Every structure is written in structure tokens, then in C-alpha cells.
Structure 1
């Protein structure tokens, strides 16, 4: 089901092909203390890349969505949200923004971001001596092998949140009004609530916001109240960048099964 909202708070590699008569361009040795900037895509080298068949590199972000980095509206919405005190979630989530490690892990990665954002100690080692949440740790309530094949329901995601130390409120969009949803968005994004560090994760239909795919999870980062635009911190960053969508469009997408 995709008509749900959950709010939680703390308590390629590519082969390079060359023609026989062509040589790689010589590489200049890098001296100690030399800064080597990456300025732009090397289009000459790109022509030699042999792409794997039946694969994709990103999707075009179409209206009504507007990219977060858009030099016009995208940044204007961010300034609006910041001036309105509706950016608190963004700053804490940005510190822990991650790309889902498997194409079916949108829910798992959204929760992973939320748990790290709320500074919850997993009590388990991530690497070396460090304790940190990773997608691979969220394997109770529904086995990850099953998630990879069938995805995860919001109720199971809420179960995972509780199993890992978060207080979690599961809210079905079909059971509340649009105004109540807007109020919950204010609560999650407002700087007046930064001590509680709440995180809102939404489940919605991508098709309703003119995107490819179907049901998807991602956290909410900010809200521009005058424009009524909401920032989706899309964990499928290999597909779409973080982007703004109209609040009511997201609401409709949440109601769609």
C-alpha cells in the first residue's frame, strides 16, 4: 500500500574500449601536495565507454517536480522555506543523506537515514569500532532477501523503526484530512521542533507526480509554505535528484494505491 505516512522521532563500473590504432592519453604524474580538480565530464573519454545493455543513467525529472538544485525555482523554494523556519529537517537529513543500496530498498534506506538523523545508537558495529546504521542492519520484521523481491509495507517499516529504538507514529493518508497532513508537515519541518528531531517518511505513487515506477518511500526535507511546495529527499538518487513537488500533488500520490 502507498497511502501512508510515518513520522519517527528519537525516546558502475564501465569497460573502456579502444581501437587498435588508438592509445590512451598520457597521464601527467601527480606531484605531492598538488590539487587536481575535476572540472567537467570528459566527453572524449565518454565516447569509448561500452555501456551495459538494458541499463539506465538517471531519469528526466518532469513537471510538476522541480529539482532542488534548479537555479531558479528550486533555490527560491529553499530560500522561502529557510525564511519561514521550515528547513529544520533538511539540515539534519542532509548530514545523513544516502542512496539506497538496492533498487528495492527505498523504505529501508529512508528509515536508515531517519535513524542516523535522530542520532540513535544501533548498538552494532558498522565498520571497525564504529557503530552506525546501514541498510544491511535493518533485517528484522521482514528479511532483506524478501524485501529485495517484494519490497516492504509501511506497517513493516514502522515495526523496523520501533525495533531499532525509535518512537514511531504510523498515519494512513486515507484516514486524515489534507489539512491534518499539512499540519504534520509543519511539525516535521519546523525549526521550533528541532529538539525532538522528528523525521517524516512518506509512501506515495511516483506515477501521480509524473515519474516512472510505482510505490516509493522517501523522507521529507523542507516545506515552502507560501508556494506550498515540499522537498522530497529522494533516496533513489541514481534515478532522480532531491526535488520539490506541490504539497497537494504529494497528498494525492499518497492516496493512490
Structure 2
């Protein structure tokens, strides 16, 4: 190393350290906010109390549905970071439709311009996730569905078993679990006889579960405060 290159290398190391410290501070602030800001508690009974929530026999039926069977039951991709539910959902859909058998959330984010500091602060909106899905799902049509009536939502859930369709749902956990924020996950299918939707929750602490259609509709019929728009669904065809 020449004397002239030493200052440049020192400056490079300093810039790298400053950047790393800045990212660490941002992640720390995000983690602190998620703990310090207590979520609203809803006056509902958590769906975890329902016998159908993760009933083994019903889950076995659900995993046998035509669309659910295209996902990796024993290797479902779970979000590696707290705010990565959106890209993780898209990665699971990539596997399901055969776009990328080795899909991963970080690969989904590559080249999109989103979540550059490591976390998707404060989280991706439904429209942002639609933009990413359009880029990463090999030219498939992606439609944002929001402001759905219960009947319209139930009709889409009936189509959730169509092998030519995939759905990603954006819902608020509060109306389902009494508390919790916005979340994205793929829909695995619909048990019509029981009127239960199969949600492939990408948060590993929840794992896939079943919920009555009306309860899930209440969770998407909520406003995302970052956009002042209703939550909803992505339809991928």
C-alpha cells in the first residue's frame, strides 16, 4: 500500500462504520417503537380460542386443497425480519407458481428500491407489495382488491382454490387476535363447507391457521394509517 492510498482507505473504513452505526440506530429505534408503542386491544375473542383455528384434521384437509398443495408445507418460508412479511409472502408465491424454487425474501427485494436499510419501515403497503409482485412474478397480472363487501370477499375466497390464481392478503391482526398490527400472508385456500379461509401466516410464531370468512373480512376492512386506504388482497393470475 502506498502512502497516497492510506488516507483513502481510512476514509472508506470510517464511512463504512458510520453507515453501519446509522443502520443499527434505525433498527434499534424501530425495535424500541414496536415494544414501547402498545397496540390497540380489540374487544373481541381471539380466533386462537376457536376449535377450528389449528385443528389437525382441518389443517390436513386444508393442505390437501389444490392451491395449498403447491406451497411447501414442510418448508414454508417464514419472515426472517419483523417487517418482511410482504416480500416473504411474494417469495412463497414464487415457489407455489414455479417461478423460483429457491425463492427468498431478500431475493424478492433485490432491485426493487424498497427496504434498503434492511427493514421495511414502517412496513410495505398493499400497493407497494403489488408493485414488487409485478416485478418478481414473471409477468403475471397483479390486481389490488380493496373495499370489498363480505359477499364479494367470500366469492374471492371460493376462487382461492383455483390453481390459476394466488392471493396475498393484507390484514390487521387486532380484529382477529385482539391486538397486533398490519400483516401480509398468502391465502392457501378455502374450506367452503366450513366457511373457513386457510391463511399461510409467514410469521413462524403463528404458523398457518384457519379462520371464519367473516372474521377475516373484518380484519381487511380496516384502514392502513400510512395510506388512509383500506387493506385488502392481491390477486395474482
- After TM superposition, is the score higher than 0.5? yes
- Structure 2, gaps ≥5 residues long: 1-34, 36-45, 224-237
Is 1:98 aligned to 2:65, yes or no?
no
**Distance between the aligned counterparts of 2:116 and 2:160, measured in 1?**
28
TM-score, structure 1 as length reference: 0.60
The equivalent of 1:62 in structure 2 is 48
In 2, are the aligned partners of 1:231 and 1:243 still within 8 Å (CA)? yes
Deviations 1:154-213 (A, max 9, x none): 111111111112423333331x33222222222221xxx33x3x2111000100002542
Residue of structure 2 aligned with 1:167, choices 140, 148, 154: 140
Is 1:223 aligned to 2:190, yes or no?
yes
Q: Larger relative contact order (C-alpha < 8 A, sep ≥ 6)?
A: 1
In 2, are the aligned partners of 1:155 and 1:170 still within 8 Å (CA)? no
TM-score, structure 2 as length reference: 0.65
The CA RMSD measured in Å over matched residues stands at 2.6
Residue of structure 2 aligned with 1:188, choices 154, 160, 165: 160
In 2, are the aligned partners of 1:61 and 1:240 still within 8 Å (CA)? no
- Structure 1, gaps ≥5 residues long: 1-53, 55-59, 122-130
* Pairs within 5 Å for 1:32-43: none
Consecutive aligned runs of 4 or more in structure 1 exceeding 4 Å deviation: none
Is 1:132 aligned to 2:98, yes or no?
no
In 1, are the aligned partners of 2:91 and 2:103 still within 8 Å (CA)? yes
1:88–1:149 Cα change, 3 Å: same
